[in-house]
Amino acid sequence: MEMGAWWPTQGDGYMLLVFAAVFIGGTSVFGGAGRLYGTLIGIAIVGIIEAGIASSGLSGDLTRAVHGMVIVAAVSSHAILSVVSSIRYSLLKFFNSFSSHKKIIFNNFK
């Protein structure tokens, strides 16, 4: 059985694409967990972007710039959505505190 040669620098060009796919898929930069289906959707979106870049004939530097802009857009949208979600949760909690239908808990089971 013959083994092929492998170099440690073979995958260097794909690091930006991997980060873009993972961040587009919804994994947070600030920690937490992502989902596999989100990452697969991110891979599909990065593939579509790659096909568009290849068909337009952009140079290598512009290709990396486009990938960087995609990462910045994905991270920014995730941060904005998390802030909006926390504000929404705080407002719901605030307005529910004024509810006239308070829950009464009876501790009859001791």
pLDDT in tens, 22-75: 888 888 777 777 788 888 998 999 889 888 888 888 887 888 888 888 888 888
Name the residue among 58, 26, 60, 29 with its Cα closest to residue 45: 26
Q: Is residue 108 scored above 60 in pLDDT?
A: no
- CB-CB contact of 39 with 28 (8 Å): no
What six digits make up the tokens of 2? 């013959």
**pLDDT band with cut points at 50, 70 and 90 for residue 2:** low
